[in-house]
Structure 1
Amino acid sequence: MNAIKKFLRYIVYHVMAGSTFYLATIACGFTTISPTPQHALQLFLMFALIGLLTITLTELQSHQFLKIPFLGKIFLHFVGTFLIIAGTSFVFNWHFAAPSIVASFIWGYLIIYPVVWLALYFYWWLTARKINVSLRSRQANFHSSNNHSN
């Protein structure tokens, strides 16, 4: 049951993150996909596939099936994500692969992918910082309560 929860958590997280960044691309005027219900479902599927890629790489690494350094894992994720986006573009006829758009698609991907990673890194850093502050506070309260009981 825990494996299913973890699996679903990765998918939901990637759908949420992907949706957020898609809305940001719309706000900046960088999208070529019109926001229709059909496209929304297709994007959800694409983001879920990226989540599956991420959990697959994570699980392979954690079970020692794939011993590669962290940067190697990021590179595999980078290439895999590119292939998922290019593949869904082809399957759903989004015209990312049209000859006139290929160069701008690649440049956009090379810009957006690091921006997403930096945003996620910043989010994880803030989360870790909040947890550390909470742990320090809890530890200080624990020590002060032990001093009063003596």
Structure 2
Amino acid sequence: AACSAGTASVSSDETLIERMRHFGELIGIAFQIKDDLLDYGEADIGKPTGIDIKERKMTLPLIYALSQTTGQRRRAIMHTVKNNNNDPAKIREVIAFVQQSGGIQYATEQMHHYQQQAFDLLATMPQGETADALRQLVEFTTQRKK
């Protein structure tokens, strides 16, 4: 909404406003996926990991990892997230599970997919300083370390 509102304040071009709305949606999804990745220690930045697990949040990396396993292991991980989410050893176990089950790789691929869609959409818009700044925003969103 912010991208379309900003565009509407300087242009009455409905197509451009809609493109910017979609751009904002794409960059917002990429931002959220990056946030999920940082919580699993995607980058060694000294930031605490496992906060989403402590808060019982089902993030994309965890959802994907759970989809790749069945039975007892899946139930054990779900139990940990629901009930033992303040135990540092259990949190490390969930993080390791997500990493080993491809959750980090999958989420990273999805983040880059949304990033590329945002770049592709920007390529259809008027070029100049504004488009350059928006490209830098997309890059920052997916490359940030915290």
Q: Same fold (TM over 0.5)?
A: no
* TM-score relative to the length of structure 2: 0.30
The higher relative CO (CA closer than 8 Å, separation ≥ 6) is in 2
* TM-score relative to the length of structure 1: 0.29
User: Who wins on radius of gyration, i.e. which is larger?
Assistant: 1
Q: Higher helix fraction: Structure 1 or Structure 2?
A: 1
